[in-house]
Amino acid sequence: MSFVTGLILIDAPASALNNLGNIPGSLTDNAVGVKAINTREGAYPYVSAQAFRYWLRETIREQVAEWQNSPVFREKKIAYTDANPILYWDDDLFGYMRAPSKQTEAVQQREQSGLVSNATPTAETVTRVSPFRVSTLVSLGPVRLINDFGVMARQEGDPVPHEHQFYRATLQGLFSLDLNAAGTFTYADRTGYLNLDEPRIRLAEQKQLQHLPALKAYRLPTAERLQRVRALFSGLAALSGGAKQTLHYTDVSPDVVFLAVTRGGNHIFGHIFTGQGERAALNLPALEEALTVHREDILSDVYVGWVQGFQDAERSRLLDALQHSPALAAWQGRLHVDHPRRAFEALSSALESHPEWLE
């Protein structure tokens, strides 16, 4: 099976992208902290994978016109999407679980709210393992968290103090897209693989999706699958979101990306960057080793997006190594360095030229 394997770096020069809430032991009741992994080396700020995925969903919904977003339904303390990957692109690529309650009270609530008439009928619990996987966004190196103090002083009387944390860091995230699973919907009776129940199977047959009996699956046409994948990458290239943007406006679109289509889902780029204080450093020996050891497993060219102005010295080291490193000599003409948006576009074009990677 083929996977799109990707790494992104996000420059957070003075940011608080994922907040913790109140800081335990702080001097004020309204002190807001940031999420961080505390180690003996120091604090590693992070953005949770859930927040990362939320940023991406919202970016695609707002910026990709053709994207088909699944409606969300609510029953008391649970919420779920329509769980219909045939119609809705985020149900396809981000996965789902739909197990609406059968309790009398919940059924009555659905009927009163109109959910029964609006939602795809569900005969049994349906689940789908997400073809698109992401890591937590974590600082490459330990940093010192900054405590910033402020006051609300526009009112009469004493000013009201408040406190919050922020940091300077380079965040790294990994992602992987299972190309075979994108646009392919199984009905095997296993948790995560019962994507389609009887009503959804009937819809697949009505829309004349390709039936794959050996896989117990239905598959969208290749052109539709590629359209959804391209939309996903367009959202990644233009990623936006994050907390405290009013005070710490941070552009979270990727400053660096490494992309390739690989055989197998293991990540080959996970160790090619290290942290030097708050900044990122390219580990050239690690990159050379990754490209050499995994050469037979890399199906596509390698697409590097690197914004000029971000760590220019490291970008120059990479370009120089492409000319002079014996280990990278074999990748002349197959490793392309451009802007991150163009890197995503080039990968999407390569997928269109190689539909066999989706099989």
| Phi and psi torsions of 132, nearest 5° | -100, 120
Pairing relationship of beta strands 31-34 and 160-178 according to DSSP bridges: parallel
Q: According to the model, what pLDDT value does residue 231 have?
A: 97
For residues 251 and 311, give the distance between their C-alpha atoms in angstroms, rounded to a whole number.
Answer: 16
DSSP assignment string, 293-334: HTGGGB-S-EEEEE-TTSSHHHHHHHHHHHHH-HHHHTTTTT
How much is the pTM? Answer: 0.92
Q: H helices within the chain, ranges in order?
A: 49-63, 89-94, 104-113, 115-118, 198-206, 222-237, 284-293, 312-324, 326-329, 340-353
b/e burial code for range 253-264 (CB count within 10 A of at least 16 → b) = bbbbbbbbbbee
How many other C-beta atoms lie within 10 A of the C-beta of residue 212?
A: 13
Question: Which residues fall within 8 angstroms of residue 122, CB to CB, at 6 or more apart?
Answer: 83, 98, 100, 197, 199
Residue 251, token pair as written in the block: 């552009």
Phi, psi of 134 (to 5 degrees): -135, 155
Residues 6+ apart with CB under 8 A from 6: 174, 175, 176, 177, 236, 257, 258, 259, 260, 269
Question: What is the per-residue pLDDT for 160?
Answer: 67
Candidates 217, 171, 212; CA nearest to 49 is 171
Successive 10-residue mean pLDDT values, the chain, 359 residues? 97 93 68 90 95 97 94 80 96 91 60 65 92 97 86 68 86 98 96 94 97 97 97 97 92 98 93 88 96 96 98 96 92 95 98 95
pLDDT of the residue at 17: 96
pLDDT of residue 290: 97
What φ, ψ does residue 194 adopt, rounded to 5°? -85, 75
Q: What's residue 247's pLDDT?
A: 87
**What pLDDT does residue 168 have?**
95
